[in-house]
Amino acid sequence: MKRLNKTVAAVLAVSMAAALTACGGSDTANGATGTAATSASNAASGSETQAVTTTAQSDETVAEGKTLINVWTEDRHDQDYVQQMIDQYNQENTDNIQIKLTVITEDYKNMISLAYNGGTAPDVVGANGLPLNQFADTGILIPLNDYIDADQTYQTVNEPYTHAYEGRNYQNGQLYFVFSGMRSGVRVEYNEDLLEKSGYTEIPDNLTDYVAMAQKITDDGAGSYYGIGFTSSSPFERLLEMSAEISGVYYYDYINGKFDFSGYKPFVEKGQELVAAAYPDQQGVDNMRALFTEQSFALWSNASQEAGVFTSQLPITDFDWGVAAIPSLDGEIKGALETSPTKAYGIISTSQNQDAAWKVIAYFQSEDFLKGYLENGYCLPITDYMTSKIDSSKTGRLADFSKLDYEDVYPAVPSVNLQGDDYRTVLWNAVMGYVDVDEAIEDLNTRYNDALDSDVASGSVKRLVIKDYDPLHPSAGTAEYLSE
């Protein structure tokens, strides 16, 4: 009996250790339910939920006489290509520069801030989503205008002043980083086979027909598959908000310099109809992607990252899938679809080697570097120059997400100290019927504008006004920052 007890104890101890080991791993694989679970687990390597910090070439020593440029980035998906190009540069460059790349995907902004305050900041940082109010106003990043103006080749390849976006990378005439790529606006990804079963061959251009299509597919599926799927991770942003944008509805009134959510009511109401036809669960993005690949629903919507997801991370082989523009409210395009510019680098003001740091940035954004990068399909080109230089047949399904003529970058809205839930949460709660839509809109208008007024009064933000604002070309206006 004692031996049996010892055996049982040993088995339990091993089980516990195994459980703990599983918990301690860096992978946080999110499986989906049912048959999709395996696919979702496999997908974890590129999931949105992962977060790791890795130092490439951590044991690398700096060769004598060389200048070490430390580069931090939060992009992990392109690490293989970037590291390969860095290795090549470290061997071949004649400026005696050695680049060391560190990938930080957890708490990136705070890590930079902590390093800056502690005197251990890198020379160059990936600046894809660094807010200017936190990194430029505080002096962490330096303006790059002088370097850019002196480098004609760089200007030809990157068109920096064409892609200077108010409050994103450009402020008060200063450019703090330059984008060399972009993520497309949201598209509809659809299962062609399931659409055909219900008699559809293309995605409608208006929400009313889109809802009818989703409902028809759900009815035809009779519980085995559904018309549409929504994720639990920012679901409002992934279809309805973007549909509102192209219908001319935006949450910030640039002309009057205040928040205005009153235009969202019809989109919330259409959303309520869509939810009635949707897959019953709203899980994480990776889980829902896995369910889409398992044909649990026919319509999914997300931006150009889905090209890589559905070709390599969760490859779709059992059915044909298409990509289409999202529907507007009535089929007319009255506003721009928001795109996310990406792949930018900035120089930290404490860098002792700012000239060398610029050379590294110029290399990262050189034609040779970008051609391979873009042809590998890591992102879409943002400049006309690079668009003309790459062979788009090499980018695979990313070509389906090419820039639409009504896509643009919106000026950064004042970032306020909001009390309570943000608008995406509240409007989705209205879609789900947890709150009344009219009350939700009134509540958002009150809370956001109170926060804006209060923050402007305290001096923590300025009111953005663009008197010549054009919803179809939001980046084209002239910005004014008011202190009242």
**Residues in touch with other proteins (CB under 8 A):** 5, 8-9, 12, 15-16, 19-20, 22-23, 28, 30-31, 33-34, 37, 109-110, 113, 131, 133-135, 137-138, 140, 232, 251-252, 259, 279-283, 296, 412-425, 429, 432, 434-435, 448, 454-455, 458-460
Cα separations in angstroms, 219 against 71, 236, 279, 470: 53, 24, 12, 41
Cα separations in angstroms, 356 against 93, 99, 161, 343, 363: 11, 10, 22, 19, 11
- The residue (of 215 and 395) whose beta carbon lies closer to other proteins is 215
Q: Smallest distance from the beta carbon of 163 to other proteins, in angstroms?
A: 18
Burial class (CB within 10 angstroms; exposed 0-12, middle 13-18, buried 19+) of 173: exposed
**Helix (H, G, I), strand (E, B), or coil: what is residue 66?**
coil
- The residue (of 15 and 478) whose beta carbon lies closer to other proteins is 15
Rounded Cα distance between 164 and 411, Å, is 10
Q: Smallest distance from the beta carbon of 67 to other proteins, in angstroms?
A: 29
Q: Smallest distance from the beta carbon of 389 to other proteins, in angstroms?
A: 31
- The residue (of 10 and 150) whose beta carbon lies closer to other proteins is 10
Q: Smallest distance from the beta carbon of 248 to other proteins, in angstroms?
A: 19
- The residue (of 251 and 321) whose beta carbon lies closer to other proteins is 251
- The residue (of 161 and 434) whose beta carbon lies closer to other proteins is 434
- The residue (of 8 and 63) whose beta carbon lies closer to other proteins is 8
Tokens 């896509």 identify what position?
407
Q: Smallest distance from the beta carbon of 113 to other proteins, in angstroms?
A: 6
Burial class (CB within 10 angstroms; exposed 0-12, middle 13-18, buried 19+) of 84: exposed
Q: Smallest distance from the beta carbon of 420 to other proteins, in angstroms?
A: 4
- The residue (of 251 and 406) whose beta carbon lies closer to other proteins is 251
Rounded Cα distance between 49 and 54, Å, is 16
* Residue of 348, 351, 403 lying closest to 381 (CA atoms): 403
Q: Smallest distance from the beta carbon of 55 to other proteins, in angstroms?
A: 23
Cα separations in angstroms, 421 against 230, 285, 343, 418, 440: 20, 21, 30, 8, 11
- The residue (of 62 and 276) whose beta carbon lies closer to other proteins is 276
Both tokens of 168, joined, read 């994103």
Taken as a whole, the chain contains a residue count of 484
Question: What's the start-to-end Cα distance of the chain, in Å?
Answer: 81
Tokens 């061997």 identify what position?
91
Tokens 């933000």 identify what position?
461
Q: Smallest distance from the beta carbon of 354 to other proteins, in angstroms?
A: 21
Rounded Cα distance between 435 and 347, Å, is 45
Cβ-Cβ contacts under 8 Å for 307 (sequence gap 6 or more): 377, 395, 396, 397, 398, 400, 401
Q: Smallest distance from the beta carbon of 304 to other proteins, in angstroms?
A: 19
- The residue (of 90 and 449) whose beta carbon lies closer to other proteins is 449
Phi, psi of 90 (to 5 degrees): -60, -30
